[in-house]
């Protein structure tokens, strides 16, 4: 049974079929990317899978359990968490505090109980801090733990966003353009981090415009165009697919020299 199964998913905005009849699946530890030209429906698809939008058609299941349209915090409890294209970092908090907030959500511990500072809550706080520090180490930000988040470079903020999502201990992580706005060095750091997370068994579903990154790290690619899935397969297969070349370049494959991506 796949970890994530998406079947016949669709949604309309007014008269526009933004996403229609899209299906695919993701296995544990697999990196699956969703690509497509601007307006293809990638973010809308992500929003349906992560509970931000209610699909009009189709189903999403996690480990065989139907979770279609479930709100994000309940999906997080079932092991699905996501990052956002527009970072959701608390800029005035320290780097460590940003991750501790995510850890608290995971523990389902009452923040109010912690205010009374019982021995049990103090022990829990120390454990949360240690867990958050471990995550910062994993994303290469342990040295910046006590800095204000606003002082980080853009690439570091992107990694902090991933650390926060990892604090929820997901089985599948949805990454919305993790390398957008990053320079080549920062993109490579994201590349290594995503591969490392997948190696630990967490499935990754990725929306990303950087085709070099997508081609390098994906096990499987799903291609959307005008809301529909037009192709899927391994990176090498997808980059040579005539339908994909035409969707990206608007020309026949012969004119494009046989490939469009990367
Ligand atoms: N909230 C909305 N209301 C109305 N139309 C929307 C809404 N969100 C997206 N759309 C439309 O749905 C279609 C798919 O948009 P979406 O943002 O999902 O595409 P995308 O593949 O993520 O694009 P990009 O690569 O530019 O981010 C587009 O035609 C877009 O204009």
The answer, yes or no, to whether any atom of ligand 1 lies below 6 A from the CB of 49, is no
Residues 6+ apart with CB under 8 A from 234: 219, 220, 221
Lowest mean pLDDT among 102-106, 143-147, 188-192: 102-106
- Gap from CA of 37 to ligand 1 centroid (Å): 11
Q: What is the pLDDT of residue 31?
A: 98
- Mean per-residue pLDDT for 154-165? 93
Q: What is the pLDDT of residue 203?
A: 97
The answer, yes or no, to whether any atom of ligand 1 lies below 6 A from the CB of 13, is yes
4-256: CATH topology is Rossmann fold (3.40.50)
For residue 162, pLDDT beyond 80: yes
With the C-alpha atoms ordered 140, 62, 50, 105, is the resulting torsion angle positive or negative?
negative
- How much is the pTM? 0.89
- Gap from CA of 42 to ligand 1 centroid (Å): 8
What does the alpha-carbon distance between residue 236 and residue 183 come to, in Å, rounded to a whole number?
A: 25
Percent of the chain with pLDDT over 90: 74
Q: Whose CA is nearest to atom 12 of ligand 1?
A: 18
Q: What is the pLDDT of residue 87?
A: 77
Lowest mean pLDDT among 38-47, 48-57, 61-70, 93-102: 93-102
Percent of the chain with pLDDT over 70: 87
Helix axes 119-138, 95-107, angle to 10 degrees: 120
Q: Whose CA is nearest to atom 27 of ligand 1?
A: 38
Residue pointed to by tokens 């990303």:
208
Token pair for 134:
């471990």
Secondary element (H or E) of residue 14: none
ipTM of the complex: 0.96
The answer, yes or no, to whether any atom of ligand 1 lies below 6 A from the CB of 39, is yes
Q: What is the pLDDT of residue 255?
A: 59
What does the alpha-carbon distance between residue 238 and residue 90 come to, in Å, rounded to a whole number?
A: 38
* Domain locations along the chain: 4-256
- Gap from CA of 13 to ligand 1 centroid (Å): 9
Q: What are the Cα distances from residue 231, in Å, to 39, 115, 133, 237, 240?
A: 16, 53, 41, 9, 11
- Gap from CA of 181 to ligand 1 centroid (Å): 19
Tens digits of residue pLDDT in 198-222: 999 999 999 998 899 999 999 999 9
What does the alpha-carbon distance between residue 240 and residue 23 come to, in Å, rounded to a whole number?
A: 21
Q: What is the pLDDT of residue 175?
A: 96
According to DSSP, the residues that pair with 233 across neighbouring strands are 221
For residue 254, pLDDT beyond 90: no
Tens digits of residue pLDDT in 111-158: 556 666 677 767 777 888 899 999 999 999 999 999 999 999 999 999
Phi and psi at 251, nearest 5°, equal: -130, 165
Q: What is the pLDDT of residue 18?
A: 97
CA atoms within 13 A on the CB side of 197: 31
Task: Return the best residue to mutate from 20, 35, 43 for the ligand 1 pocket (most ligand atoms within 8 A of CB).
Answer: 43
* pLDDT band with cut points at 50, 70 and 90 for residue 108: low
Burial code (b: 16+ CB inside 10 Å, e: under 16) for 177-188 equals: bbbbebeeebbe
- Mean per-residue pLDDT for 60-82? 94
- Gap from CA of 24 to ligand 1 centroid (Å): 20
* pLDDT band with cut points at 50, 70 and 90 for residue 60: very high
Q: What is the pLDDT of residue 251?
A: 57
What does the alpha-carbon distance between residue 111 and residue 182 come to, in Å, rounded to a whole number?
A: 34
Token pair for 174:
């949805």
Q: What is the pLDDT of residue 124?
A: 72
Q: What is the pLDDT of residue 248?
A: 80
């Amino acid at each position: 049974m796949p970890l994530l199964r998406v079947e016949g998913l669709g949604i309309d905005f007014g008269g526009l079929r933004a996403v229609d009849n899209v299906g695919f699946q993701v296995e544990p530890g697999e990196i699956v990317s969703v690509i497509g030209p601007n307006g293809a429906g990638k973010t809308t698809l992500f929003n349906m899978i992560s509970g931000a939008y209610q699909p009009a058609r189709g189903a999403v299941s996690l480990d065989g359990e139907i979770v279609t349209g479930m709100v994000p915090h309940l999906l997080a409890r079932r092991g699905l968490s996501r990052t956002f294209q527009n970072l959701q970092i608390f800029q005035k908090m320290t780097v460590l505090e940003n991750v501790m907030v995510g850890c608290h959500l995971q523990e389902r511990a009452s923040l109010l109980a912690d205010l009374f500072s019982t021995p049990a809550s103090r022990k829990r706080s120390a454990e949360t801090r240690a867990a958050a520090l471990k995550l910062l180490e994993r994303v290469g930000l342990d040295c910046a733990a006590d800095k204000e988040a606003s002082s980080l470079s853009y690439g570091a903020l992107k990694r902090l966003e991933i650390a926060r999502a990892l604090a929820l201990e997901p089985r599948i992580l949805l990454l919305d353009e993790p390398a957008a706005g990053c320079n080549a060095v920062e993109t490579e750091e994201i590349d290594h981090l995503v591969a490392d997370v997948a190696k630990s068994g967490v499935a990754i579903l990725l929306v990303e415009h950087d085709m070099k990154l997508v081609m390098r790290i994906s096990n499987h690619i799903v291609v959307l165009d005008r809301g529909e899935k037009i192709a899927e397969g391994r990176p090498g297969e997808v980059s040579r697919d005539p339908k994909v070349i035409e969707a990206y370049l608007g020309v026949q494959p012969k004119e494009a020299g046989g490939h469009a991506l990367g």
